[in-house]
């Protein structure tokens, strides 16, 4: 009998828990077969961005070649409806004479329910199903409070995560398997595109494949990780790793990221240099949000993490929302951020917070609208992190800080793009303004706003930040969050 390995958001042969388990020496005398299901309806319902689908397809091409070198053919099947997936996998397993199915768990509500249906159906046909933890370094549910409850605040979670990581002996990286017995099964062709997901983003911005991801990670570790803490908030300089793209699709694992960061910090998980330590903290943030998804399924159901904030009556002003989406709010740093997203499929992390807080606090528009738009456009769209970030910005999530944390976008702009370099790149119509004026071209400090004095083709701000802040504070107080 053979084993069937169902790939999802884990498109790699190195450090892949399900692949490692399925290919243990002597376990499959008849070899293994890999499987990937293309589910356009599910991707559309879950707001997959066209750029993300394009990235997945390009990675499948490389994964297929890597698996072929291991004598593991990659089969591709299409599922028009999510409900078809269990029966399609069963049919594939039976036709290929597979006695076991291996996959790495996904923790979102719909995905977990789908996997349960697959497990039940195949189990009823005497096919062994083995589900593995792989998406995080430490399995969701394993890091809990002393009262055996899930953590709801990041800092104590991080402390306990670090202790548990050490207690478990770290998270070793698994090697790629050795070549298997040949199956005489041909791999499937990889489609160049999927209807309904035509990307307009230059694919060369996001190179595919494990080698590209690992090379980028090592380059970051050798050249920039030591300055990460000081550089990470400045969008005009390459201060981040951009590994979120590879992590979201599973082209690289969090364990591989941790291993490189720990090596850069002199073998220390804690107490190393500020750059590596801060980057490790960002990996743990990702872990935290996945643990939240597993423990509090409501965040997958368009619900606020803090149930009390479901009472907030958000604005649903489509006109203002369209201005935010297009990057024409009249606030240069917000507009530059949105244009970066629309043009590249990615946005700098500091600007994700600035843009999200502007939508939810200045425009007081429902955070779910912004969450959805980001997912529909991000190459690194990942529900746990995206939802966690949006709810943090909207003060409906796990953030322990009070609801009155409200970014002033102009202050953020002056602090993190002081010379306006990033703004000039994505808002070239403002390039002629000096380094002071460019952050607030509508200010009347000199008597005549630079926007009008220079006759620039750029909109005036759609809302007044001070008035918006007062409105938000009153709204949160009214629903009893004070």
Among all residues, which ones are annotated catalytic? Answer: 282, 285, 314, 349, 367, 390
Q: In sequence order, what are the beta bridge partners of 76? A: 36
Query: On the CB side of 406, how many CA atoms lie within 13 Å of its CA?
Result: 19
**DSSP SS3 for 405:** coil
**DSSP SS3 for 99:** strand
Torsion from C-alpha of 191, 196, 197, 198, nearest 10 degrees: 90
Q: b or e along 167-194 (b: 16 or more beta carbons within 10 Å of the residue's beta carbon)?
A: eeeebeebebbeebeebebebbebeeeb
For 302, residues 6+ apart whose C-beta sits below 8 A from its C-beta are 368
Find, among 304, 316, 330, 303, the residue nearest to 369 by Cα: 316
Q: In sequence order, what are the beta bridge partners of 75? A: 35
Label residue 417 exposed, middle or buried (CB < 10 Å: 0-12, 13-18, 19+).
buried
154: left (phi over 0), alpha (psi -120 to 50) or beta: alpha
Tokens of 178: 């050795």
Find, among 353, 356, 364, 262, the residue nearest to 312 by Cα: 364
In whole angstroms, what is the distance from residue 12 CA to residue 59 CA? 9
The continuous run of DSSP H or E covering 32 comes out as strand 32-38
Q: b or e along 298-310 (b: 16 or more beta carbons within 10 Å of the residue's beta carbon)?
A: ebbeebbbbeebe
Can you list the alpha helix ranges (DSSP code H) found in 143-269? 154-167, 210-223, 228-231, 244-249, 254-264
**DSSP SS3 for 243:** coil
In whole angstroms, what is the distance from residue 23 CA to residue 67 CA? 12
């Amino acid at each position: 009998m053979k084993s069937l390995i169902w790939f999802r958001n884990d498109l790699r042969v190195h450090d892949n828990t399900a692949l490692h388990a399925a290919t243990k020496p002597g376990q499959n005398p008849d070899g293994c077969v890999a499987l990937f299901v293309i589910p356009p309806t599910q991707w559309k319902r879950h707001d997959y961005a066209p750029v993300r689908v394009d990235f997945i397809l390009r990675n499948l091409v490389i994964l297929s070649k890597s698996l072929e070198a291991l004598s593991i053919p990659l089969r591709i099947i299409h599922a028009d409806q999510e409900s078809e997936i269990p029966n399609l996998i069963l049919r594939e397993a039976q036709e290929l004479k597979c006695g076991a199915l291996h996959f790495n768990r996904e923790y979102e509500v719909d995905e977990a329910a789908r996997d349960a249906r697959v497990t039940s159906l195949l189990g009823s046909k005497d096919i062994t199903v083995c589900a593995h933890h792989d998406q995080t370094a430490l399995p969701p549910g394993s890091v809990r409070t002393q009262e055996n409850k899930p953590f709801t605040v990041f800092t104590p979670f991080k402390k306990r995560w670090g202790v548990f990581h050490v207690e478990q002996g770290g998270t070793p990286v698994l090697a790629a398997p050795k070549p298997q017995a040949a199956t005489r099964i041909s791999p499937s062709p990889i489609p160049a595109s999927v209807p309904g997901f035509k990307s307009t983003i230059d694919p060369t911005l996001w190179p595919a494949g494990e080698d590209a991801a690992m090379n980028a990670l090592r380059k970051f570790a050798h050249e920039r990780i030591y300055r990460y803490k000081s550089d990470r908030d400045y969008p005009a300089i390459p201060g981040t790793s951009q590994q979120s793209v590879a992590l979201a699709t599973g082209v690289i694992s969090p364990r591989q990221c941790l291993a490189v960061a720990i090596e850069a910090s002199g073998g220390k998980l804690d107490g190393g240099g500020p750059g590596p330590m801060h980057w490790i903290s960002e990996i743990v943030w990702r872990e935290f949000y996945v643990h939240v998804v597993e423990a509090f399924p409501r965040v997958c159901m368009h619900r606020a993490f803090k149930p009390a904030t479901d009472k907030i009556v958000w604005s649903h002003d489509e006109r203002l929302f369209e201005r935010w989406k297009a990057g024409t709010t009249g606030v240069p740093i917000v507009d530059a951020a949105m244009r970066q997203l629309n043009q590249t499929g990615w946005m700098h992390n500091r600007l994700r917070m600035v843009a999200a807080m502007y939508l939810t606090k200045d425009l007081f528009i429902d955070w779910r609208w912004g969450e959805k738009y980001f997912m529909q456009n991000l190459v690194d769209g990942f529900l746990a992190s995206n939802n966690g970030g949006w709810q943090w910005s909207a003060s409906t999530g796990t953030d322990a800080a009070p609801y009155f944390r409200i970014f002033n976008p102009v202050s953020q702009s002056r602090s993190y793009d002081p010379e306006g370099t990033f703004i000039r790149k994505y808002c070239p119509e403002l390039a002629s303004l000096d380094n002071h004026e460019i952050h607030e071209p509508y200010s009347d400090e000199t008597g005549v706003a630079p926007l009008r004095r220079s006759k620039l083709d750029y909109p005036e701000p759609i809302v007044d930040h001070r008035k918006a802040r007062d409105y938000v504070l009153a709204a949160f107080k009214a629903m009893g969050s004070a």
